[in-house]
A = this chain, B = another copy of it.
């Protein structure tokens, strides 16, 4: 029986608490939050859990085997470090850390202590992403051409991170999972209109083998969009996460370049066949992910969404930050 402490009971914490609570072989022993109202809410649903505002009662308790860190990103490093130093496995919200140096240190620490670190890249456990992974790995799409995601809506404005740090980690973790390579170059552009933090942002990632990825994130859109296009040589797919049914549509469409001799212009021909929407499993992603965490701890396995996966996402975010920063220097230097 693994005894878990949950730190943070804000927007996402209730889902973490509910899912770990319902897993066989796991008992949520403690919940920690500085906000007494949050603790009261947690207790009303989970009366048997010990509630505290003292972090050390969780990260330092000999009763606790693992901690789930569900707090703002700026606190992840300190909390995870303390937990790991005290010999506890760690389940931590995305993005893993605020800097890649922090991530590297935590990875090294966990390795040394032989502890599991799992970063909550929840989308990797959805039926949709698991189906797309299966299609990509099985060759249904052929070699990939591009990954293009739009993730926009009105709000929720964050006060500590910009729209790229807030929304892009979902797509970065998914493309990291699907493409299996690190980008060669990252270009980001963004605009800020309200509280100084970027609320509209774009990222392009150049991967090896001419794979290009693009992310469009926006807190100021009048409509909610969650649509990703994935283009391959053989087939292309559209994933619309807002569709209640038929989230993924696979198009038997493609382009071929002919090689006829003596022709000046390249012959580009189009192929257009059936569309197919495979059934997508509907099990709650977090249920599968929390189960997977418990299994990794029990069997001493390293999860695929481990600290290294978290580090790769943080590196892409840092590269975006750097790209934005350089641009600003150029902007102010230029005179039109």
Q: Which residues does A use to contact B, with CB under 8 Å?
A: 145-146, 148, 150, 152, 154-155, 157, 159, 182, 184-185, 187, 189-195, 200, 202, 204, 206, 210-212, 214, 216, 218-224, 229, 231, 233, 235-238, 244-246, 249, 251-253, 255, 257, 265-266, 268, 270, 272-279, 327, 330-331, 334, 336
Contact = CB atoms under 8 A, between A and B. Distances in A.
The 7 A-B pairs with the shortest beta carbon distances in the complex, nearest first, are A191-B212, A222-B251, A189-B204, A222-B236, A275-B277, A157-B268, A195-B266
Given A193-B210, A193-B233, A222-B251, 12 more contacts: A148-B216, A154-B272, A155-B268, A157-B268, A187-B327, A195-B266, A200-B212, A202-B202, A218-B231, A220-B236, A222-B238, A246-B275
A259 B235 CA distance: 43
Contact of A253 (B189, B222, B236): B222
Q: How many copies does the complex hold?
A: 4
A268 B212 CA distance: 35
Nearest to A181: B336
Contact of A273 (B220, B229, B279): B279
A256 to B, nearest CB: 8
Contacts of A237: 222
B220 A231 contact: yes
Contact of A145 (B220, B233, B278): B220
Contacts of A255: 154-155, 157, 194, 219-220
A51 B221 CA distance: 49
20 contacts: A146-B193, A148-B218, A154-B253, A154-B255, A182-B336, A184-B331, A191-B206, A194-B257, A194-B266, A195-B266, A202-B202, A206-B331, A218-B229, A219-B255, A222-B251, A245-B275, A274-B277, A274-B278, A275-B277, A277-B277
A80 to B, nearest CB: 24
A189 B216 contact: no
Given A268-B195, A277-B276, A216 B216 contact: yes
A187 to B, nearest CB: 5
Contacts of A229: 152, 218, 221-223
A202 B214 contact: yes
A257 B253 CA distance: 39
Contacts of A155: 255, 268, 270
A233 B276 CA distance: 21
Given A187-B327, A204-B202, A212-B191, A272 B279 contact: yes
A330 B185 contact: yes
Contacts of A235: 222
A183 B75 CA distance: 39
Contacts of A150: 150
B216 A214 contact: yes
Contacts of A182: 336
